[in-house]
Structure 1
Amino acid sequence: MAVPDVLRPFVTSMVPYDVDFGAPGTHRGMPSTEVTFVLPVGEPLDTAWSDGSDHRVTWSLVSGLHTRPAAIRHNGYQRGIQLALTTAGVRALFGMPAAAWRGELLALDEVAAPGDVRHLPEKLAETDPRQTDPQQWERLVATSLIETLARRGEPAARAEVGRALALLTRGAGVQEVADEVGYSRRRVSDLVRAETGVAPKQFQRLARFDRSKRLLGRVSLAHAATACGYADQAHLTREWQEFAGCTPTTWLHEEFPFVQDLTGGGEVH
């Protein structure tokens, strides 16, 4: 099921998952310019930051913009639905800027008002995960989001903030963004930080990291580094070690153990 048109400015992806890992383990929750919203089915999420802090077991999770990985532990099987929200989506669906969640792991009852999407864990719990088509989870969640959006209207950030974030996502420099939106560099920095919780340069780095993640496994690391605007492969690897807590090749082997080796002559450490 594709994200309904009415939700596309606010939800970039909505993916049901029903995965047998074969054995208990830990999945990395990666930094991004988008806000992660997860609704597990059958078993709650066991989540913490990679250093073990803020450990929680919940039936819902939203994570604000962050620059370190989360650790999601599982017993060998995971079911549920995961969404990626834009910063505009956080405003539209929760009535607050994404900056309010900066670096936080939160449950829905901590951020959602009664009558909005707060009821979704209970609604999903009423389905039988062994017999329910995961597309039913998508329909249930999409319907709830559309209803919430209709009740709330579309409270949005200022248009120039959305323009600035779009330019930063595409790799524009901070001064270029300031010139484009007609504000001083400091003013742009203040607006972006107030909306997202991170400075423009950090947002730009997260966007570049996002782009590289989508390319890994499809092209060599050297090619990904060039395509995404890194100085070289070593620069890409340093950014991955900071944001993901591992090298790109380690992540590929964890997530896609059977993918062809496309490191391009060996991994840079």
Structure 2
Amino acid sequence: MSADGMPAALSPYVTTLAAYDLGPGSGGVHRGLPSSTLSVTIPEDGPVDIAWIGRPGPGRRLRAAVAGLHLDAAELRQPAGTRGVWLTLTPPGAAALLGVPAAALAGEVADLADVVPALADLPERLAGCRSWAQRRALVEQRLLAGLARHGDRAGRRSSRATLAALSGTARVEEAARLLGCSRRHLSGAVRGEFGVTPKEYQRLVRFETARRRLVAAARSGRTALAEVAAASGFADQAHLTREWRAMAGCTPTEWLRAEGPPAPPPPAPR
């Protein structure tokens, strides 16, 4: 068992397993931002409507949604409520737990039942649970069953090393040098397995790092975008803002205002 209570066998593949509540002021609407992980969203009641922000065409109504790696944002609407279960997986976790390579899901969102028929009943089973402890235990049980079916192969350890090298470096050439391969070989391997280029994966990591720092700064009551940009690997605040517009469909400030944590209360008068 890991420090957060996750079964040790799942720890290399599951980065988040949590209950969520969008809150009464959200109207059941949430902006799904790009991330270095794949996500599974299972609403507590009814379906979820998902549309890609900035992409033409209609959205999709799904009972439970699986989203691959993507570099643009999506809008999620839950007509019947605001609560559910949220699960995020590392890219190797898609194959290890769901039996589907991450590349097959890249840039797309699909119904959980279509991706993993063995999990088609999971939303209804979760709806019948009486507590979060029961829901968490059920999800962990089903993920462990998936891991037993698909196996924890040695190749996935190599995949994790590849993503760690990309996450820990600023340039693709640096990651290739750490891994002892050419940039061309690294590019082909990453695109073939995860559905994005190495540079795109590094963009996802940098964006995700900036989002975490923005949230932490907002919670402290001090949102200094220039500092967040510098600490997250952006050239300057303008670079951060351009990347957020491209990947989130809004500026960092607009996102914080709509979905960020509440500002801390002012200090009590003395």
Does the TM-score normalized on the shorter chain lie above 0.5? yes
| CA deviation string 1:131-179 (max 9, x = no partner) | x322321111111111221232224645443222111112342111111
Match of 1:146 among 144, 148, 162: 144
Give the superposition deviation at 1:75.
4.3
Q: Secondary structure at the match of 2:25?
A: coil
Q: In the alignment, which residue of structure 2 is the partner of 1:267?
A: none
Q: One-letter code of the match for 2:165?
A: L
Structure 2 contact 43–78 (Cα < 8 Å) conserved: no
Match of 2:188 among 182, 187, 190: 190
Q: In the alignment, which residue of structure 1 is the partner of 2:109?
A: 105
| CA deviation string 1:50-108 (max 9, x = no partner) | 14635122221100111110101234831111011001110101223201111111011
Q: One-letter code of the match for 1:124?
A: L
CA distance in 1, matches of 2:136, 2:264: 32
Runs of 4+ in 1 over 6 A off after TM superposition: none
Instruction: Say if 2:117 is the partner of 1:119.
Output: no
Q: In the alignment, which residue of structure 2 is the partner of 1:264?
A: none
CA distance in 1, matches of 2:159, 2:148: 23
Structure 2 unaligned segments of length 5 or more: list them: 218-223, 266-270
CA distance in 2, matches of 1:109, 1:79: 20
Structure 1 contact 3–13 (Cα < 8 Å) conserved: no
Q: One-letter code of the match for 2:204?
A: L
Give the superposition deviation at 1:25.
5.2
Q: One-letter code of the match for 2:120?
A: R
Identity of aligned residues (%): 43
Q: One-letter code of the match for 2:123?
A: P
RMSD of the TM alignment (CA)? 2.1
Give the superposition deviation at 1:23.
5.7
Q: One-letter code of the match for 1:42?
A: D
Structure 1 contact 25–75 (Cα < 8 Å) conserved: yes
The number of equivalent residue pairs is: 255
Instruction: Say if 2:172 is the partner of 1:168.
Output: no
| CA deviation string 1:161-215 (max 9, x = no partner) | 3222111112342111111112111000000111111110110011000000001
User: Which region of structure 1 is more displaced relative to structure 2, 165-174 or 147-156?
Assistant: 147-156
Structure 1 unaligned segments of length 5 or more: list them: 262-269
Q: One-letter code of the match for 2:30?
A: H
User: Which region of structure 1 is more displaced relative to structure 2, 230-239 or 118-127?
Assistant: 118-127
Instruction: Report matched runs for 1:35-184 at 5 Å.
Output: 35-51=38-54, 53-75=57-79, 77-114=81-118, 117-127=119-129, 132-155=130-153, 157=155, 159-184=157-182
Please report the TM-score for the alignment, with normalisation by the length of structure 2: 0.87
User: Which region of structure 1 is more displaced relative to structure 2, 148-157 or 169-178?
Assistant: 148-157
Please report the TM-score for the alignment, with normalisation by the length of structure 1: 0.87
The alpha-carbon distance between structure 1 residues 35 and 257, as it changes in their structure 2 partners (threshold 3 A), is: closer
Structure 1 contact 62–108 (Cα < 8 Å) conserved: yes
Q: One-letter code of the match for 1:166?
A: A
Instruction: Say if 2:2 is the partner of 1:4.
Output: no
Structure 2 contact 68–107 (Cα < 8 Å) conserved: yes
The alpha-carbon distance between structure 1 residues 67 and 185, as it changes in their structure 2 partners (threshold 3 A), is: same
CA distance in 2, matches of 1:203, 1:23: 30
Q: In the alignment, which residue of structure 2 is the partner of 1:226?
A: 230
CA distance in 2, matches of 1:62, 1:109: 9
